[in-house]
Amino acid sequence: MRLLIQFRSLLSRVLDLPPENLIKSISAVPISRKEEVADFQLSVDSLLENNNDHSRPDIQIQAMRLAEKLKCDTVVSEISTGQGTVNFKINRELLTKTVLQQVIEDGSKYGLKSELFSGLPQKRIVVEFSSPNVAKKFHVGHLRSTIIGNFIANLKEALGHQVTRINYLGDWGMQFGLLGTGFQLFGYEEKLQSSPLQHLFEVYVQVNKEAADDKNVAQSAHEFFQRLELGDMQALALWRKFRDLSIDEYMRIYKRLGVHFDEYSGESFYREKSQEVLKLLDSKGLLQKTLKGTAVVDLSGNGDPSSICTVMRSDGTSLYATRDLAAAIDRMEKYNFDKMIYVTDKGQKKHFQQVFQMLQIMGYDWAERCQHVPFGVVQGMKTRRGDVTFLEDVLNEIRLRMLQNMASIKTTKELENPQETAEQVGLAALIIQDFRGFLLSDYQFSWDRVFQSRGDTGVFLQYTHARLHSLEETFGCGYLNDFNTACLQEPQSVSILQHLLRFDEVLYRSSQDLQPRHIVSYLLTLSHLAAVAHRTLHIRNSPPEVAGARLHLFRAVRSVLANGMKLLGITPVCRM
């Protein structure tokens, strides 16, 4: 932020400190609805070297001494002290001109060019997300992995990293033994062709019930999977058919979600390499055989049952953990990543801890570059037809409900493609509800809350973006060549400018903890500020100079709003 650089160099001269030492000590002040606040604050605590040696009163005295040292000038118009801080109010016309110019000039890069990100090395990052199971419909539980992984990949990419998005399909394992046997018992080729995923799901449910009651069915499933592992042509042909039909269906759904992948991988890719992993574990003396004939790795070294990880069945076939080890080793060879992020539900926390630990004891130091981003469970998501089993039901429900909402609102514009708009607005609603809290939290799903047009919802964000876009359409861009900063000194304008000043800090916070809620909270506040300004700062019937300045302000808001929404995986709509 240009204004911040100017301000920091001024402070560094007075404090006799290099400007880079002040980067983390100065921050924009969050706006307050109750009172006008300063623009920047300097944290005295972070300036003092041995924080623990300083009690609060000492910090307060230091803050006051520091404030006395500093003088107002053409940049700073007011200096005061807060709780352990020195607060600065910037010359209002300078604030207006610098912030708006930078938003317009930087465009989609606004906030990302900040000094907070300077010196960050460009990294090779692998993000594994979504990862549904082949031949089972895309379960709603995969929705969270898909949208969270997409957000993380978007953010890392925006920061200039080289990101590889991997969809690691559950396309191997005992479920294929069950499915292969189930299809031979209950499958119909014509149903498979006309409605593949629905039919495969029905077969899978039915064979699971049968296997629980009939040992012969369970044994047959076990034998079918063994045939797959040994490369039996007939078994593989059926498996490949299930896989291909499923991937076609997934790709169609990802397109609706606005999500893409660089690589469709799967557990099946590693069935041979997982045997190499077992040999490596054995050669290092880490593999132990149990009385049942399975192979395990004792991660505790002292027989602690909670630290024992099974890596091979008694018949020699591989397990999920073995294939994950093989996949991680293969990706390191292929991508030489600096970071690999796995996005799955919190139920897999122990699994990944064990996988990373095994990689370490196998001698792969890069295991510390692997990270699991866990998330909580969505509860109570139902459609009008009952419990949700499949994501597509949710997408269809969103579109239907949103179309009905839009039809009932008198201000709804005539749309070229109402179905598409309804889906984009509905997806925004779903994503914002999901991203508002901590990712690790479970949350109760509510259709009513999702589709509120007022309050902190995705519908409100889309409505704000469409409304601001409509202003530009109505009044044209003739006003946008230049503007008079003196025309934007109302409290509503200043609050927006102060908020725009903070965008880089919010992006930085999300980049540190990979939580989208910081960006969501920021965008909702920006939309509320824009709504207040839209009601009070009229463009129609205002003098041209005033109208032009206000249009400039609203254009900047729309630009930052769109940038933030795209990072979250939302496509901003221009009409609704």
pLDDT at 21 > cutoff 90 = no
Which of the residues 136, 137, 499, 518 is marked catalytic? 136
Q: What is the pLDDT of residue 318?
A: 80
CB-based contact 97:483 (threshold 8 Å): no
The predicted model gives 340-364 an average pLDDT of: 96
Q: What's the farthest any 2 CA atoms get from each other in the chain?
A: 88
What is the β-pairing status of strands 443-444 and 378-379? parallel
Q: What residues contact residue 349 under an 8 Å CB cut-off, 6+ apart?
A: 372, 374
Taking residue 155's Cβ as centre, other Cβ atoms within 10 Å add up to 20
Q: Is 194 exposed, middle or buried (0-12, 13-18, 19+ CB in 10 A)?
A: exposed
Which of the residues 137, 142, 222, 518 is marked catalytic? 142
Q: What residues contact residue 404 under an 8 Å CB cut-off, 6+ apart?
A: none
Q: Is 139 a catalytic residue?
A: yes
- Taking each helix axis from N to C terminus, what angle separates 233-257 and 215-229, rounded to the nearest 10 degrees? 90
CB-based contact 463:453 (threshold 8 Å): yes
Q: What residues contact residue 237 under an 8 Å CB cut-off, 6+ apart?
A: none
Q: Tell me the DSSP string of 470-502.
A: HHHHHH-SGGGG---GGG--SHHHHHHHHHHTT
pLDDT digits (tens, 9 = 90+) for 553-567: 999 999 999 999 999
pLDDT digits (tens, 9 = 90+) for 470-525: 998 888 765 556 788 899 999 999 999 999 999 999 999 999 999 999 999 999 99
Q: Is 136 a catalytic residue?
A: yes
Q: What is the pLDDT of residue 346?
A: 94
Q: Which amino acid is at 17?
A: L
Nearest Cα neighbor of 524 from 454, 575, 468 is: 454
Q: Which amino acid is at 14?
A: V
The predicted model gives 155-166 an average pLDDT of: 98
CB-based contact 22:7 (threshold 8 Å): no
The predicted model gives 160-189 an average pLDDT of: 94
User: Of 51-55, 120-124, 159-163, which has the strongest mean pLDDT?
Assistant: 159-163
The predicted model gives 199-205 an average pLDDT of: 90
CATH code reported for the domain at 391-568:
1.10.730.10
The predicted model gives 365-392 an average pLDDT of: 82
Q: What is the pLDDT of residue 55?
A: 54
Q: What does the domain layout of the chain look like in residue ranges? A: 1-90, 124-267+324-378, 391-568
Q: d(Cα 193, Cα 335) in Å, to the nearest integer?
A: 37
Q: d(Cα 283, Cα 277) in Å, to the nearest integer?
A: 10
| Residue percentage of the chain with pLDDT more than 90 | 60
Q: What is the pLDDT of residue 62?
A: 84
Return the DSSP state at 52.
Answer: G
Q: What is the pLDDT of residue 302?
A: 81
CB-based contact 92:107 (threshold 8 Å): no
**Letter string b/e over residues 216-247, b meaning 16 or more CB atoms within 10 A of that residue's CB:** ebbebbbebbbbbbeeeeebeebbebbbebbb
Residue linked to tokens 């053409």 = 74
CB-based contact 367:359 (threshold 8 Å): yes
The predicted model gives 211-235 an average pLDDT of: 93
Written as six digits, the tokens of 104 are 């317009």
Q: How confident is the model at residue 51 (pLDDT cuts 50, 70, 90)?
A: very low
CATH of 124-267+324-378, one of 3.40.50.800, 3.50.50.60, 3.40.50.300, 3.40.50.620: 3.40.50.620
Q: Which amino acid is at 312?
A: M
Which of the residues 54, 97, 123, 139 is marked catalytic? 139
Q: What is the pLDDT of residue 395?
A: 87
The answer to pTM > 0.85 is yes
Q: What is the pLDDT of residue 50?
A: 43
Q: Which amino acid is at 483?
A: F
The predicted model gives 521-535 an average pLDDT of: 96
Backbone angles phi, psi at 340, to 5 degrees: -130, 125
pLDDT digits (tens, 9 = 90+) for 287-322: 999 899 999 999 987 878 888 999 998 888 788 899
pLDDT digits (tens, 9 = 90+) for 507-517: 999 999 999 99
The predicted model gives 120-137 an average pLDDT of: 90
Q: How confident is the model at residue 163 (pLDDT cuts 50, 70, 90)?
A: very high
The predicted model gives 276-291 an average pLDDT of: 92
Q: d(Cα 237, Cα 454) in Å, to the nearest integer?
A: 53
Return the DSSP state at 88.
Answer: E
Sign of the C-alpha dihedral, residues 110, 113, 116, 117? positive
Q: What angle do CA 146, 148, 150 make, to 5 degrees?
A: 65
The CATH number of domain 1-90 is 3.30.1360.70: yes
Taking residue 471's Cβ as centre, other Cβ atoms within 10 Å add up to 16
Q: What angle do CA 127, 319, 301 make, to 5 degrees?
A: 95
Residues paired with 76 in a beta bridge: 90
Written as six digits, the tokens of 352 are 């990944």
Residue linked to tokens 């041979």 = 272
Quickly list H helices, 259-410: 273-283, 320-335, 349-361, 391-408
Q: What residues contact residue 151 under an 8 Å CB cut-off, 6+ apart?
A: 435, 516, 567, 568, 569
